Amino acid sequence: MFLAVLVLALAPIWIARYLPSIDMPQHAAQIAALREIWQGNEAFTQLFEVNWFTPYLLGYLLLYALSLVVPIAVATQIVVSLSVLAMPLLTGQVLRAAGADERWKWLAIPGSFSFAFYWGFLSFLVAAPLALLFWIQTIRFVNAPSVKRGVMIALFSIFLFFSHIIVLGFASLVALGYVFGSSFRDVKTLALRALPYTAPIPLIAIWLAGAYQSESSVRNDPVIYGSFLERVGQLLLQPAGHDGFTLITFLVTATILVLPPLAGSTFSRRPERWLPLALGLLVFVAAPRYVLATAYFFQRLGIFLVPLWLLAWDPPTRAERRIDWAATAIVLIWSFTNIGRFAGFARETETFRDVMAAAEPGRRVASMVYDKSSQFFALPVYLHFPVWYQATRGGIVDFNFADFYSQMVRYKSTAGPRMTDGLGWYPTEFQWEANGGARYDYFLVKAPVDISNEIFKEKRGAVELVTRSGWWWLYRNLERDPAAPQ
């Protein structure tokens, strides 16, 4: 039954052609650009370069491999489905390895639709299940330490660096919490068991030094902590796998909190069982929301809070009234609610496909999403949605994640003026000359009304409306020579 309900939980991912995951179009576009570069497309080789030394390598390579056999949008659905499937399954394995109450793996299903899912943090989603595998290996290492297992931990931690550096840091902290909780009475043993976790430190130092020297935003951007109320809100939202406050949000989160004690599980007195939860909550409460040019730092870690909470509970020592069926019931209610939301989003995106069909393939497009909202999701799910054109039609769309230092495909310094990150949020600040308006074949606008005058200003006469479908408006650049290079 667990597997059947888990598969049902995956159903929303496959309802719409495109996921309601904000950054996912950008990651898919990275793969499309990588493919064009390796095929020798001069429009891409002149603008982009490939960056192999990135701590987000695994997710991109996995998505690239899948895109060779299925369409890129389907490849993203497969990758996300694997992550959503793996989190509850591996949560059960963590609980079993640690001697915790394995019944509560059901409660990890909703939280697999985390903040990272809705924001479309591809590499993070790929790496998150690896963190649980890392903890399983840590538990086995602590229970039966050996040189072989220590070496495996060291190699695994290096592998995690190339999967996602934030996951590596958090997973290592939690693992060391487990090691400390089990070995703190013997300093020598503690030091020996902690040693394998230091293996990726040289890689981290080299990468951070390169980022600091090469990326001005890493050097100059402020560290932003955000409010305490924001963290409380995320603590309520993320266990429920929801992006907005609804009745089902509070119902699921409350069930996760109260069901273990009500069903007879007891909070463990063993430090290695509750210390990881304490460290996870401490990071979630104290870590910044923006640091080293990385946004939503602490929020994305919410995907781990439910597994850590469940890890802290011991199985009942005596027969109790069986109410663990309530976990199945709440997950089913949550699943059907999710299916309804995603089905509504699928209908909502039909107008986008109509506009995409009117644009010639292989052109350069400026993304101008004025209205980023959807009636089915609280987050700005349409922020990067036009970038699906690059992912599926062989063109180039700006704003583009290739502007970021950590990406696998990056713009060269000679790429010229273009749409920037800020314009992705505020397209009416677009300036024709400063942002390379003459370089674009199309301008794809999302707005409930015609805002072309506000966007193009004195150059309104340089564009013409090709088509409109719903809130999507496609404009052609009349000054652009179709034969000109991108």
DSSP for 84-112, please give it: HHHHHHHHHHHHHHHT--GGGGGGGTGGG
Cα 6 to Cα 326: distance, rounded to the nearest angstrom: 15
Judge whether residue 217 has pLDDT over 70. Answer: no
Angle at 253 between CA 11 and CA 108, to 5 degrees: 50
- The pTM score is 0.94
Cα 116 to Cα 180: distance, rounded to the nearest angstrom: 29
Cα 395 to Cα 364: distance, rounded to the nearest angstrom: 6
Scan for tokens 């027969």, then name that residue. 319
Judge whether residue 267 has pLDDT over 60. Answer: yes
Mean pLDDT on 124-148: 97
Paired residues of 329 in beta bridges: none
Cα 472 to Cα 482: distance, rounded to the nearest angstrom: 23
Percentage of residues in the chain with pLDDT exceeding 90?
85
Kindly indicate the confidence band of residue 486, based on its pLDDT and cuts at 50, 70 and 90: low
CA distances from 156 to 91, 123, 164, 248 (A): 18, 16, 12, 38
Report pLDDT digits (tens) over 81-131: 999 999 999 999 999 999 999 999 999 999 999 999 999 999 999 999 999
Report pLDDT digits (tens) over 413-442: 899 999 988 888 999 999 999 999 999 999
Give the pLDDT score at 118. 96
8-state DSSP, 144: S
Cα 301 to Cα 238: distance, rounded to the nearest angstrom: 10
Cα 133 to Cα 146: distance, rounded to the nearest angstrom: 18
Cα 452 to Cα 437: distance, rounded to the nearest angstrom: 14
Judge whether residue 293 has pLDDT over 70. Answer: yes
Judge whether residue 295 has pLDDT over 60. Answer: yes
Paired residues of 267 in beta bridges: 313
What number of residues does the chain have? 486
The single-letter code of the amino acid at 111 is G
Cα 125 to Cα 303: distance, rounded to the nearest angstrom: 9
Give the pLDDT score at 477. 96
Judge whether residue 485 has pLDDT over 80. Answer: no
- Using DSSP, state whether 269 is helix, strand or coil: coil
Cα separation of the two ends of the chain: 53
Question: Residue 445 is inside which H or E element, if any?
Answer: strand 442-446
Percentage of residues in the chain with pLDDT exceeding 70?
97
Give the pLDDT score at 325. 87
Mean pLDDT on 379-394: 96
Domains of the chain: 51-317 (no CATH), 348-477 (3.40.50)
8-state DSSP, 164: -
Backbone angles phi, psi at 295, to 5 degrees: -90, 160
Judge whether residue 481 has pLDDT over 70. Answer: no
Cα 80 to Cα 474: distance, rounded to the nearest angstrom: 30
Kindly indicate the confidence band of residue 210, based on its pLDDT and cuts at 50, 70 and 90: confident
Nearest by Cα to 139 from 314, 316, 313, 311? 311
8-state DSSP, 291: E
Cα 352 to Cα 359: distance, rounded to the nearest angstrom: 11
Judge whether residue 320 has pLDDT over 70. Answer: no
Kindly indicate the confidence band of residue 483, based on its pLDDT and cuts at 50, 70 and 90: low
Mean pLDDT on 235-264: 92
Among 169-178, 189-198, 316-325, 403-412, whose mean pLDDT is lowest?
316-325
Alpha helices in 145-246 (DSSP H): 147-161, 165-183, 187-194, 201-214, 216-220, 228-237
Give the pLDDT score at 307. 97
Give the pLDDT score at 292. 82
Residue 369 makes CB contacts below 8 A (sequence gap 6+) with 382, 383, 384, 385, 386, 424, 427, 445, 446
Cα 424 to Cα 157: distance, rounded to the nearest angstrom: 35
